[in-house]
Amino acid sequence: MQKIKKMQQQEYSKMFDLAQYAFQFENSAEYQKRFHYLAEHSINYGSFEGDDLASQVMLTPFDVNFFQKTHKMGGVGFVSSDPSFRGGGRIDAIMKELLKDCYEQGILFSYLAPFSYPFYRRYGYELLFERSSYRISHQDWPRVASPKGKVLRKDWQEAKASIAKIYAATMTQEEGCLLRETWWYEYKYQMKPGNYFALYYDEEAQVQGYLVYQMKAGVFTIVEWVYLTEAAYRGLHKYIASHADSVQEFFYERSANGQTPFFLNERPISQLSSRPDMMVKIVDIEAFLKVYPFEYLQTSFAIEIEEDSYSPWNTGIFEIHVQSNREVVIQKVVETSLPLMKTSIQRFTQLFLGYKSLEELVFYRFLVLEPGLENAISAIFPKKRPILEDYF
């Protein structure tokens, strides 16, 4: 008989064994230590058949930035099942309990990296992030003029404070990114083998940018490239170019937001590709609407979420009332006389978090709007696409 419980440290080895079997990553003491470290910072759901771990889901608490505010997010990872026990609805049962826990704990968002987009849509998740990949021959890496500052390679202990400071100064101006905690930096960089770190110092010896990279089998992989100034951009760009005689290819993948670090190049980058990345679920629509920036809203209206079977509190009609003092009041109702937008939880997420425009979703009939409502509410939606530079 199956039983769901939250697993503790004594079950971490079982968790690792199941995850390693499911994802076929390296089975080593180093990987096991990193996995256990993540489990220590997570809530770990397991479905058991007697003493056997049949299925598991890891939920890691994070903070994310949306609308220049910090919100709680639950990162879902290592969703895995032993094939001996598949077919019993175990992941469904875990996800139902996990989402209910998130709702009760005030966790507003949940992110995950899907093995199947259709599979996770059933739980109310939808694609929100994309990634752009650049492959550049060592002969074709663009040349830039050298700035007056310098780039120095550092070990993790020397680099970590500067990396955290610069990341916070840049990514917190974006939508959707993680507000990284100290433990996550250790997991992401220090505990992952093969990372090198380089810092750009300006003429006053102030760190203005950083580079995290790897070199393996003739490929220079840019893990993260962040800069506060144009000089820091050029300095790190030049530093990367200095490895052209040591490698055959440069590879850089970053969150796709319509921008590129190569737009100043004389020749466009020829090998550029994009791929879908992580999905997002808004756990609590009513709580989300209460923190959403409606300052440009001129007209009261209502939104109907057609169905969210794994988060039934999201199904229904939500009225957004603009008061005479410009305050916005959110109310869940059984029926409404206000102009109505009707959509799914998935398309609501893409619209209100900036991945898709109102016009596009209306065109493809993913939204049903009453006449005149599109023009009345078009100004309230984000114009900036969300980005994410982390994976779990």
Q: How far is C-alpha 23 from the chain's CA centre?
A: 20
- Structure confidence by residue, pLDDT tens digits, 336-351: 999 999 999 999 999 9
Strands (E), 191-299: 196-201, 207-216, 219-227, 249-255, 272-276, 279-282
Helix and strand element counts for the chain (H, E) = 11, 19
Gap between the Cα atoms of 265 and 21, Å rounded: 44
Report strand pairing: 219-227 vs 207-216.
antiparallel
Q: What residue segments make up the domains of the chain, in order of their start?
A: 2-112, 132-275, 285-380
Looking at residue 368, its pLDDT comes to 95
Q: Quote the CA–CA distance of 105 and 127 in Å, as a whole number.
A: 24
Partner residues linked to 200 by β-bridges: 151, 209
For the domain covering 285-380, report its CATH number.
3.30.1050.10
Strand partners, 336: none
Which superfamily does 132-275 belong to? Gcn5-related N-acetyltransferase (GNAT) (3.40.630.30)
d(CA 129, CA 387): 6
Cα–Cα separations (whole angstroms), residue 118 to 122, 126, 127, 307: 7, 9, 10, 16
pTM greater than the 0.85 cutoff? yes
Look up residue 294 and give its two tokens: 């409606």
Distance of CA 177 to the CA centre of its chain: 6
CA–CA distance, 169 with 210 (Å, rounded to integer): 12
What are the residue ranges in the chain where pLDDT is below 70? 1, 263-270
The pLDDT value given to residue 283: 98
47 sits in which H/E element:
strand 43-49
For tokens 């609805």, the residue is 89
Assign domain 2-112 to its CATH architecture: 3-Layer(aba) Sandwich (3.40)
- Up-side HSE of residue 308: CA atoms within 13 Å toward CB? 28
Residue 1, pLDDT score = 65
CB 131 within 8 A of CB 275: yes
| DSSP strand pairing (272-276 vs 130-137) | antiparallel
Task: Tell me, yes or no, if the two domains 2-112 and 132-275 fold the same way.
Answer: yes
